[in-house]
Structure 1
Amino acid sequence: MSSSPGLDPLTGAPIPPPPPLPDITPLLDINNSAIFEQLVEKLMSASNEERKHAELCLEEMKRLGPEVAALHLIQTMRKGSKVELRSMCAVLVRRQLCKDSKESLLSKISPQAVAIVKQECLNAMKEEEEKSVAHKVTDTVSELAATLLGETGNPSSWPELLPFMFQCVQSDAAVRHQESALTIFAHLAGVMSDALRPYLGTLHGILQVSLRSETLEVRTAALRASASFILSAGDKERSGFQSLLPDMLSTLETALNKQDESAAQDALEMFIEIAEMDPRFLRGMLVQMANAMTTLARTEQLESATRQLAMEFLVTLAESRDKAPGMIRKLPDFVNNLFQSLLLFLLDIDDDAEWYDVSGSNADGSAGGNEDAGHGETYDVGQEGFDRVALALGGAQVLPIASGLLPHLLADKSDWKKRHACMICLAQIAEGCAKVMAPQCDGCVDMCLTASVDEHPRVRWACFQALGQLSTDLAPDLQRKQHHRVVPCLLQAMNDVQNPRVQAHASAAIVNFSEGCVDNVLAPYLDEIVMKLLVLLEKSSVSAVQEAALTALASVADSAQESFLRHYERCIVPLKQILYNATDKQYRMLRAKAMECVSLVGMAVGKDQFRQDGDEVMQFLANLQGTIVDADDPTSQYLLQAWARFCKCLGTEFLPYLPVTMPPLLKTAKLAPDGPDGFFKVVEADDGGDDEDEEGIELFDLGDKRVSIRTSVLEEKATACNMLCCYADELKEGFFPYVEDVCTIMIPLLQFYFHEDVRKAAVQCIPELLVCVKKAVELKTTPGADATYLQNFFGLVMDKLLEVCPKEPEVEILVCVLESIQEVLMECSNLCRPDHMQKLLATFKEVADASVKRQNDRKTTKETSEDYDPSIDGDDEALEAESELEYEIWSQIAECMSSLLKEYREHVVPMVEHLNPYLLPMLLEVERQPDERRVAISIFDDVVEHAGVSGGANSLLPQYMPRVLQCCLDPDEDVRQVAVYGVGMCFAHLLHPAAAPLARQAFGPYVENSLAAIQHSISSPDAGQPKFMSATENAISALNRYLAVTTPSPANSESASGDASYASVDAGTKANHAQLYPLWLSRLPLTHDRVEARQCHDRLVWACTPNSGCPSEVVTYLLGGNASPGQHDSQRVAHVMKVLAVAMSYGSGELISATHFEGAKTLLVAFAKVLPPDVLQATHASLSDEKAQKVLVDAAQA
């Protein structure tokens, strides 16, 4: 439908004409400064209408006379009749002429005018005496210099600037000139460091003199400039500034002595930036600086902001282990002093009466506001500081100090604040100390149980905060070892009706505890927990308690799963009542929590139980969804997640609800940076804004701009993307109609650098969408889903994943991208085009190069640190985690190669050869980690398994095989497992009669050593240890593979004998068989690796079954005696019966394939009939498992 010109296309009404442009003719007269001053005054007007008209006039001036506009601005900045006019024009010159402006005037005016602007700016610096205006002029000159010089760093763009600034910083110059010039140097250090490099010696001397000035303003400006040069200089140049540190620290002390805390805070911020970027730079003054900062942090007479910045410096130092390994460890008492300082911050709390009032709301709409009532200004800094320090330093350094201090705090009966601080500290350090705390969690629980009966409610609340956090961070160890103490404690606290905030927090701790439960730990307490939570839900009149009970009930159901069935009927009724009746605005969160609980209960009990209630609830929610109008209504977000759970519960039965659930989900996933619902806004830094104190907003300054990011919107977007991924995963081909819309959203989000969770959700969604398409194509009944569509879709997603993979800045998400590539290949590797193979190789190499660089950088940082001691600092949990992510990159590359090798076999071997420069060092260099060896061997294994028969592995054997054989006894269980598996693959594919002659020839020299390696692995002293069982069983299976390919078996095993074929076997192989068959049998049964177990047990059944075609010599090797039934060695037969009984006790298809299960039963019955009764009885007694004993009894009685 077309619209008529001049009419609104939606309403059809006439479009009003634009407002007339103002007549600015008088303003275009460069000599009419008075009228321009009037315009500037109107730009500062409190009247919106007057101000907007003035802005329109200025825009017209810029359009019609840019040079006049620029000269008016510069002249008024210089000669304006009022301070306010000069101040405003200084700001306007910066905004309108400098590089960050969208339409800079600088590029639109003549060189002569530019020269005037530059000269007048310098004149303003010299002559402006009003301090506030002078500061703005300084900022303007800084920005103008950055604009003119920053692109090239060439001083010739403003040749007068540097001589002028050097003149200004002379010690005999006016104080304001010195301060201004130093401020400009600070600004230019980062944008034209190359241009200033020849002057660094001169600047160093100037800075040193300025740092010793008698005027604090000059010293502060010099400190700022010094810090800017330190931050922007290269490593070599930076070290030359270390001699300034004593004077920089002295400047801070002077500011404090003169009670100028604003200047002190500026100095502290500079020190923090230096500590964050290069902590080693501070090494020579570290003791003095740490002591000074500790003193500041503990001086309660100082402003809170000063103390917080001092603490931030100390915490930043603690977080510097990756950049300065060992440095902090050598700092005397640093961790102990920091710990005690943070505890002092936690004591900044009062027993505010508001804390006991739970009738208010929190920022997210939940009940129970005022939770932070009584917190002083430093309290939250103390909380966050403990968390960061523990994560940075780890339990080995933090826990001994905590163990020495916290019990004393808890024992102080005179001060509840100390007991409260003990519990909060314990909660905050749990995550960082989890590795060390988990084995000794009983001591932590001891302290919590003591605090749980404390006389002060705030201490009890803090106790449950600690128990909740410990339950999360020490899971599942705490749940397994301490459930009998923790759960009763929490249940008891839920009776504290006099303190509903404590009551609710105990329920919240149940959530943490249940989420970490494994092995039915919760089962003995399930009935009591559910009943207690239902009492809180139905009897309490406090919304905060009810909401906490709902969340706990949901978590318990999620943990209990099918065990929750017996509580379903009792729970669903009150849940539906709340859902249907909590309609008042104050109960919106309560209803949202009920929605969450119903959906989790539904998932726990399954669709058969939930179907009827689920249909009723979903009909209600579908109607409710259309009534949500308020942006702050939590129902929307809870509803999105509830729909996803209903989808998981009901599967394809959820499809009819997609037309209801998808539109809001797609809308939320599409949320853009700008617009009314956007999450990103940029304003002038000096404009302020309404976002300053709003929760869910992150602010940061970027030059003269202030950026605000609405994180709550980003979290909603991430949730929506995760829900779409869930739908695709659950509904498969049923989701096909939405694939294109969702893919259109997700592809751009692969590079959504605003938010990691959004990007991660998009990455994980891509393979699920491909599966939807593939399933729809296989179904052959879905319109539009055909082979061409699948090919095109595969090409699109593979191209996009390969495009973003090397660009991904976060290693954790990079691993996810590689995992998604692997999943796409696993589903449709047959659709790979030749260009995809080339891109895959290029991507793997680029990602590998980046990984090598990161690891080398970390290694260099450690090795070049004067303080690094491998024996002490080698056990760095944070660095270990980073290294594990690097190894995971290679694990995913190996999985990708596996998928390609399965499909394209020997054609992929050249890709492996291209990766050998990375893989061989991982395999051969002795200092490499087990994960690296494992990855290299697993790729070799896949080459042998999928390309070996045709000779594809031939070129790799000389490089890999000797080290693989050594790794058959590797001290790492995973490396040993892949090594022995690889040897088994060599036996199976390179010795196979069907293998290419060149393949058999290439492997020939390694056969003897391979057999020896496998035998050593099987017989090693540690082979029976639990952690090596999988490797040992793979070694036994490798032996089985050798025996299988070297023992001929006739094609018709039911009628033919293998003896004729076996006669042709060479004497050496027969000698091996005589030794290896008994060894192999002695190591059976296998019970850990079921795939390998089936192969071995099936072969045993075949070999022992009469007329199976197994050569009689082999039967003799196994059963002793001779090959005739009833004439075997009874002990050998007894062992075979024991193996079969154990294998059969697991059921058909588990440790024996369904094909051989009946044969095993027949064999067991036959052996039972010929075995002497005493031997049979002894065999039965040797079986420890009742099921295996029953199998043997049944066979004997058959």
Structure 2
Amino acid sequence: RSWLARLRMAMEDQQRMLGALYEAVRGTMNSVNETRKKAEEQLQGFRKQTGPEFLSYLCEIAKSAKEIDVRHQALVLLRNNVKRKITLWDKTSSEAQSFITSSLLQILVSDSPGQIIRSCGSVISLIASRDLPNVKETFVAEKWEDLWETLFRMSKSANETHRAAVFLVLADLSEFAMPSVVPHAAPVREALYHGLSDENNEVRLAALRSTVSLLLALPLADLEGMKGCIPIMFQVLSRAVDDEAIQSACESLIKMVDFRGHFFKGSFREILSTMRQIAHSENLQWETRRFAFDVLIAFGRRSKLMVRADKEYPSTTIELGLVFLKAFDTDLDWSDQENDDDQDNMKCALKSFSKLSDILTDESSIEVGLPMIHKYISSANYLERFAGLMALSKLCQGLESKWVDHLEKVVEMIFPFFGDPEPLVQWATINCIGEFCESFEPSFQEKFHSVLIPALITIMDDDKLVARIHIQASKAINLLCAYAENDIVSPHLDQLAAVLLKRLQNSDYPLQVTIFLAICGLAKNADSAFSKYYDVFIPGLLKVLETAHGPKAVELRCTAMQCIGIIGQAVGADQFAENAQQIMQGLLVRLREPEVSADEKDSTYELFGRIGAVMGERFEGYLDQIVPELVKNANAETGSLIDYDEPTPDDPGLSVMVVDLRGLGKKKILMNCNVMLLKTTSVHMLYQFCVDVPKGFFKHIKEVANIAKSLVNFTYDEHCRRGALALVPALLKCATESTSKGSKIVCELFDYLF
């Protein structure tokens, strides 16, 4: 009787626990923040109180609760708790693990709604992928002995949700526990072939994802035996019933192409035809059509030899790029450059043309691309002229050695469009010229400066043109001057300075920013000859630092600082010294203000570096105020990698990138881009001061050596690593020059760094 009473009490306690946990699970779905937060705290309490049994309780709720949403939420919570780094699953008893796996398989084969079946399949695949790599353990093998029989039986179920769930589990097992799949290779292959031909669209897509997962996991030697599935894989695309289905199928194919593009050798023509048909289909959404284009570009990037052997690939991809450029959204206000972010077709096409310049051979780029582009440029349709010019600006990148022989023909082709009646075409023409100034420097400037510089001056002087054209012309002037010889630009200095000064009057921030950049290019090119314009531009630039405040003015202030520094380097210390001292004093005060943005701090430190380069040892007095901040910035933490399900910190400066790492699953890369920018700039400025002001820098050499050593293997930014590497010899030279011969400090520094 005593024993029965204790048993009854234990069962009542368990029921109370289940009831309370049920309410907590339901509370986590509440839309009221306070209620939801309280429920989450209760869950944490249950987790601590019950320990490993917590998973069994969640599984019981998922299995027997009446409310569908609560069952689904219990499965989500079960998955999240199993997925934790320090997981309860490994601490759960073998009996409880067997109960959980058995219960999950029962849910999987039940007549539960689709969301329950899918979530259950996700939990099963997660737990199985943790266990099955250890399948040699007898207990583990017994625990999952029913899994494969259940999956193969469900693959023939009349319930399409069951069939789709099978492939969800198979996809994860192929990725995370491939050794467990190998003994069942034949029935798995049969199930996949049937799934790819299933009458239900959702099942076909699930089978396609599962097939790709298996193909990625198979050894190269075993891939040949799977080539029979290629035609069926593409039938999934042709049978897709909506945009979402096609996009999903394309995503799966891109993943396959990225890792096993050679698998499709011999079938590429069929792929090309299918993707071309999708990308050209006016019945589909533009996003879907872009997905198809992305598949073709992915093939080109990963399997260059294969696509270069196909005669239709160049014409197909170039034509598609032109079609997407022609689909420029004219409903958006083109004069506002912020709207470019919403021009999805243009962004896709320009990115693709940049990649095609690396994918295509020189011959196909010119022989196929140039006639197609010329046809567009010659069109009466202004959107086609725009498309041709934009394509031309990108396609030649990386192929300069071959395209340079065609430059005269190309310039003759595009030069008339400087005066096109459509502002969009004018803008594209100037954009093209700017790209050529950078891609074909310095030969482009040498050959065509006599027509280009006067044309750009005329455009900058024209009051009737919209500001966006003046913005693009300013960028082109900057690029032309930055890469041209001094004797090419010097005859035009007065005119260029005059039109830039004129356009500065009453212009808004975006135009002022690009004019400042053009002045930078002019000052770099003119060097000491820019002295005559010093008093023309410096007062206005200093006024910007004094008066332009607020979030909208950040870019303007940053560019003004860049311009001041470059002008100072051009004219030298004698002319710049007085203003340099004034600037340093003002900016050191400004840096202490709380509202200063990361971009402004970055530009301020770069200006300090330029002033230091001009002033040399006269800059020494400022180092004690600057170097400690640079050291602090260089030591800041900038990034981390966390599981996809882990909460993201509430930080507005944080950028989150979701990556799917094969064998590890989905992860989040957390990057604080503002901190990263300051970190990289600070490392480079430490190098600059070490080189330009070595005597004053010597006292900071030990703490900076710590930075150099710690950042040479910095994970997240190549420029930061390069800066740290450059610091090493600079520090040794600084120590050598600042101490007597044979100094112990130099030897200690060398031993520490190496």
- The answer to whether TM tops 0.5 is yes
**2:700 aligned residue:** 738
| Alpha-carbon separation, structure 1, partners of 2:636 and 2:275 | 44
Q: Which structure 2 residues correspond to residues 1043-1058 of structure 1 after superposition, within 5 A?
A: none
| Alpha-carbon separation, structure 1, partners of 2:30 and 2:550 | 44
Give 2:310's match in structure 1, choosing from 331, 336, 349.
331
CA contact 2:163–2:203 (8 Å) conserved in 1: yes
**1:455 aligned residue:** 421
Matched, 1:202 2:202: no
Aligned CA distance change for structure 1 residues 577 and 261 (closer, same or farther; 3 Å): closer
**1:283 aligned residue:** 265
Matched, 1:655 2:620: yes
Residue 294 of structure 1: how far off its partner (Å): 0.9
Q: Which one has more relative contact order, counting CA pairs under 8 Å at least 6 apart?
A: 2
Residue 163 of structure 1: how far off its partner (Å): 2.7
Give 1:70's match in structure 2, choosing from 55, 60, 81.
55
Give 1:793's match in structure 2, choosing from 719, 726, 749.
749
Residue 174 of structure 1: how far off its partner (Å): 3.6
Q: Deviations over 1:562-588 (max 9, x none)?
A: 222332233323332333333465434
Q: Which structure 2 residues correspond to residues 871-950 of structure 1 after superposition, within 5 A?
A: none
**2:629 aligned residue:** 664
Higher mean C-alpha displacement, 219-228 vs 54-63: 54-63
Give 1:164's match in structure 2, choosing from 146, 149, 154.
149
| Alpha-carbon separation, structure 2, partners of 1:68 and 1:178 | 31
**2:76 aligned residue:** 91
Give the greater-gyration-radius structure (CA): 1
| Alpha-carbon separation, structure 1, partners of 2:719 and 2:648 | 29
Q: Deviations over 1:365-413 (max 9, x none)?
A: xxxx43517x543221111111111122253321222210122212212
- Local SS of the residue matching 1:794: helix
**2:7 aligned residue:** none
Residue 65 of structure 1: how far off its partner (Å): 1.7
Residue 30 of structure 1: how far off its partner (Å): 5.5
Residue 416 of structure 1: how far off its partner (Å): 1.2
Q: Deviations over 1:977-1014 (max 9, x none)?
A: xxxxxxxxxxxxxxxxxxxxxxxxxxxxxxxxxxxxxx
**2:6 aligned residue:** none
**2:330 aligned residue:** 351
Aligned CA distance change for structure 1 residues 187 and 353 (closer, same or farther; 3 Å): closer
Higher mean C-alpha displacement, 281-290 vs 43-52: 43-52
Residue 299 of structure 1: how far off its partner (Å): 1.1
Residue 283 of structure 1: how far off its partner (Å): 1.2
Q: Which structure 2 residues correspond to residues 701-712 of structure 1 after superposition, within 5 A?
A: 701=660, 703-712=665-674
TM-score, normalising length: structure 1: 0.59
Residue 630 of structure 1: how far off its partner (Å): 4.3
Q: Deviations over 1:215-246 (max 9, x none)?
A: 22222222111111111111111221111010
- Local SS of the residue matching 2:659: strand
More helix by share: 2
| Alpha-carbon separation, structure 2, partners of 1:153 and 1:434 | 58
| Alpha-carbon separation, structure 1, partners of 2:728 and 2:82 | 46
Matched, 1:520 2:487: yes
| Alpha-carbon separation, structure 1, partners of 2:12 and 2:600 | 55
Which amino acid counterpart does residue 762 of structure 1 have in structure 2?
A
Aligned CA distance change for structure 1 residues 243 and 726 (closer, same or farther; 3 Å): same
Residue 254 of structure 1: how far off its partner (Å): 0.9
| Alpha-carbon separation, structure 2, partners of 1:519 and 1:531 | 18
Which amino acid counterpart does residue 436 of structure 1 have in structure 2?
K
| Alpha-carbon separation, structure 2, partners of 1:716 and 1:27 | 60
| Alpha-carbon separation, structure 2, partners of 1:157 and 1:737 | 68
Give 2:216's match in structure 1, choosing from 224, 231, 248.
231
Residue 191 of structure 1: how far off its partner (Å): 1.8
CA contact 1:412–1:419 (8 Å) conserved in 2: yes
Matched, 1:591 2:574: no
CA contact 2:133–2:179 (8 Å) conserved in 1: no
CA contact 2:590–2:596 (8 Å) conserved in 1: no
- Local SS of the residue matching 1:700: strand
Q: Which structure 2 residues correspond to residues 375-394 of structure 1 after superposition, within 5 A?
A: 376-394=343-361
Q: RMSD value over aligned CA atoms?
A: 2.6
Higher mean C-alpha displacement, 503-512 vs 696-705: 696-705
| Alpha-carbon separation, structure 2, partners of 1:153 and 1:441 | 67
CA contact 1:588–1:635 (8 Å) conserved in 2: yes
Q: Which structure 2 residues correspond to residues 215-230 of structure 1 after superposition, within 5 A?
A: 215-230=200-215
| Alpha-carbon separation, structure 1, partners of 2:161 and 2:367 | 52
Residue 706 of structure 1: how far off its partner (Å): 3.7
**2:477 aligned residue:** 510
**2:585 aligned residue:** 619
**1:312 aligned residue:** 294
CA contact 1:749–1:758 (8 Å) conserved in 2: yes
| Alpha-carbon separation, structure 1, partners of 2:361 and 2:679 | 34
5+ residue gaps in structure 1? 1-24, 358-368, 674-678, 781-785, 799-1198
Give 2:679's match in structure 1, choosing from 684, 708, 717.
717
Matched, 1:700 2:659: yes
The count of residues paired between Structure 1 and Structure 2 equals 739
CA contact 1:550–1:593 (8 Å) conserved in 2: yes
Aligned CA distance change for structure 1 residues 198 and 629 (closer, same or farther; 3 Å): same
**2:321 aligned residue:** 342
Aligned CA distance change for structure 1 residues 434 and 715 (closer, same or farther; 3 Å): farther
Q: Deviations over 1:1057-1083 (max 9, x none)?
A: xxxxxxxxxxxxxxxxxxxxxxxxxxx
Q: Deviations over 1:790-847 (max 9, x none)?
A: 222111211xxxxxxxxxxxxxxxxxxxxxxxxxxxxxxxxxxxxxxxxxxxxxxxxx
Which amino acid counterpart does residue 488 of structure 2 have in structure 1?
V
- Local SS of the residue matching 1:398: helix
Residue 48 of structure 1: how far off its partner (Å): 3.0
Residue 196 of structure 1: how far off its partner (Å): 2.0
| Alpha-carbon separation, structure 1, partners of 2:635 and 2:571 | 34
Which amino acid counterpart does residue 147 of structure 1 have in structure 2?
R
Q: Deviations over 1:1111-1164 (max 9, x none)?
A: xxxxxxxxxxxxxxxxxxxxxxxxxxxxxxxxxxxxxxxxxxxxxxxxxxxxxx
Q: Deviations over 1:270-304 (max 9, x none)?
A: 11112121221111211111110011111122122
**2:712 aligned residue:** 750
**1:242 aligned residue:** 227
| Alpha-carbon separation, structure 2, partners of 1:200 and 1:705 | 29
Residue 535 of structure 1: how far off its partner (Å): 1.9
CA contact 1:449–1:489 (8 Å) conserved in 2: no
TM-score, normalising length: structure 2: 0.92
Give 1:133's match in structure 2, choosing from 100, 116, 122.
116
CA contact 2:530–2:570 (8 Å) conserved in 1: yes
| Alpha-carbon separation, structure 1, partners of 2:541 and 2:344 | 40
Residue 475 of structure 1: how far off its partner (Å): 0.9
| Alpha-carbon separation, structure 2, partners of 1:556 and 1:115 | 75
